Amino acid sequence: MATATEAPRGAVAHPDVGSYQQVNEDVLKILGRPGRGWWILFGLASLGLAVFAGSWANQIINGIGLSGLNSPIGWGAYITTFVFWVGIAHSGTLISAILFLFRAPWRQAVYRLAEAMTVFAVMTAGLFPLIHVGRVWHAYWLIPYPNSRFLWPNFKSPLVWDVFAVTTYFTVSAVFFYLGTIPDLAAARDQARGLRKKFYSVVSLGWRGTDSEWHHFGKAYIFLAALATPLVLSVHSVVSWDFAMGIVPGWHATIFAPYFVAGAIFSGVAMVITLAVPMRKFFGLEAYLTNKHFDALAKLCLLTSLIVLYAYLTEFFMAWYSGEPPERGVFWNRVFGPYWWATWTMLVCNGMVPILLWFKRVRRSIAALFVISIFVNIGMWFERFVIIVTSLSHEYEPFAWGMYRPSITEMGIVLGSFGWFCFWFLLFTRLLPPVAIAELKEVLPAPLRSRARKEAVR
């Protein structure tokens, strides 16, 4: 990429950005002393984190019974939230890896943000299976390790696949994320002083920006992008198999993998918008995150929304077409049963509200996008809730049908997990350049390139 001689085709112009130097200053100034707003947000996030940790600790001490789960409905808000965060984690790699491989240069302004979101979202998601199990102190039994008992995990179980999928995804996306930040960390190092300087010196691994470094960097980056790309598809496919491999009516469907992947990207892109809009505002990044970027994100959102909507309709059609009473029953119950509100929330938020994105004016309106993205976030949480809870509540045995209501502990943990996520994300905004400096420079007008290069390696 460093060898490009002009801005790639399709790159988004940044007419307000004057020079490479300005890029450095604009982005790196975010890393300076945090303002009051940041501290307030950080305080809120820490509070959420405390609620999260407190609720979980309480649950470990007193028992998983503190959740609202029960006999037919063994999975509820925790697994819903697990899938939700895994889904959020998707857009990061999609934007950075797949769009990189497909040479969609508009990604450059948002990919750092998206990648950070990915890493933190996987970190959040990974906690939920632990929160969920009845005996978390034995959860390590899911890891295959040699032991004297001659016992291994059951490799047939999708939950074991989950362990592999999520840890792999976390590892690769974390490495990918870190790799991409190295040049920017070096840039930050060059501007920082004192303790910060030491920190950036260590984490930037002595990056000097030489040709050979850029060369290797590029190779490694494209290699990792290629490695990460199939993971985007596989992770959520595996997560979807948690359900599709079950025989629960409403879960046992072949479309689950693509359906979940599309849903994941949908929710992930929405979350990127949700995070990017306030960041742009607070950090004054209007020049870098332009309407055009949001327009592109919105288009991606629209596309995946349509796929998801199509999947919904397919599910209903297949349930009807199968002629099986349990299948039909569960889908009828989804729409008209006691959980109708969840289903309709899902359908409205994910299938109907995004229709507005057909209009260019909406796509170009940051405020409208922000609102729509919130709707999508809510809708996608409810999508998982609907799939998990309504299916389990209305299975084969009519005698054993049941209802479920999340408990205070569950709500504390679910909402607290946003605190945990924001905690890391806010730290990220202060410690790492939230917009990729080096890559942004690539899309700036060519005449400035040579000077910028010098500055970058200074």
Binding site for other proteins (CB under 8 A): 53, 56-57, 60-65, 67-75, 127, 129-130, 132-143, 145, 147-154, 156-160, 163, 242, 245-248, 324-326, 329, 392, 395-404
CB-wise, 143 or 226, nearer to other proteins?
143
- Identity of the amino acid at 296: A
Kindly tell me which of 72 and 351 has the beta carbon lying closer to other proteins: 72
Amino acid code (one letter) for 268: G
Work out how close the CB of 153 gets to other proteins at its nearest, in angstroms, rounded to a whole number.
Answer: 5
Taking the complex as a whole, how short is the minimal distance between the CB of residue 131 and other proteins, in angstroms? 9
Chain centroid offset of residue 287 CA: 25
One-letter identity of residue 84: F
| Distance of closest approach, residue 443 Cβ to other proteins, in angstroms | 39
- Residue 310 CA to its chain's centroid (Å): 22
CB of 325 to other proteins, least distance (A): 4
From the list 35, 55, 36, the residue with the least C-alpha distance to 47 is 55
- DSSP letter string, 68-111: S--SS----HHHHHHHHHHHHHHHHHIIIIIHHHTT-GGGGGTH
CB of 111 or CB of 331, closer to other proteins: 331
- State in angstroms the smallest separation of the CB of 246 from other proteins: 5
- Nearest CB to other proteins, comparing residues 151 and 205: 151
**Contacts of 156 by beta carbon, 8 Å cutoff, 6+ apart:** none
Instruction: Fill in the DSSP letter of residue 11.
Output: P
Residue 109 makes CB contacts below 8 A (sequence gap 6+) with 12, 288, 289, 290, 293, 435, 436, 440
- The pair of structure tokens assigned to 108 is 């450059």
For 14, counting Cβ atoms within 10 Å of its Cβ (0-12 exposed, 13-18 middle, 19+ buried), the class is buried
* Rg, the chain, Cα only: 23
For other proteins, which is the closer residue by CB, 9 or 399?
399
Contact residues for 348 (Cβ-Cβ < 8 A; gap 6+): 375, 379
DSSP 206: T
Residue 216: CB atoms within 10 A of its CB come to: 11
Q: How far is the CB of 233 from other proteins (least distance, A)?
A: 23
Q: Nearest approach, Cβ of 342 to other proteins (angstroms)?
A: 18
Q: Which is nearer to other proteins, 155 or 341 (CB)?
A: 155
As a whole number of angstroms, the distance between CA 52 and CA 75 comes to: 19
Distance CA 51, CA 45 (A): 10
C-beta closer to other proteins: residue 45 or 262: 45
Tell the smallest beta-carbon distance from residue 130 to other proteins (Å): 6
The residue (of 226 and 400) whose beta carbon lies closer to other proteins is 400
- From residue 288, give the alpha-carbon distance in Å to each of 112, 280, 440: 12, 8, 8
Which CB sits closer to other proteins, 70 or 191?
Answer: 70
- Residue corresponding to tokens 């989804």: 334
Minimum CB distance to other proteins smaller for 42 or for 141 = 141
- Distance between CA atoms of 343 and 394, rounded to whole angstroms? 14
Tell me which residue of 426, 446, 436 sits closest to 106, measured CA to CA.
Answer: 436
Smaller CB distance to other proteins: residue 71 or 212?
71
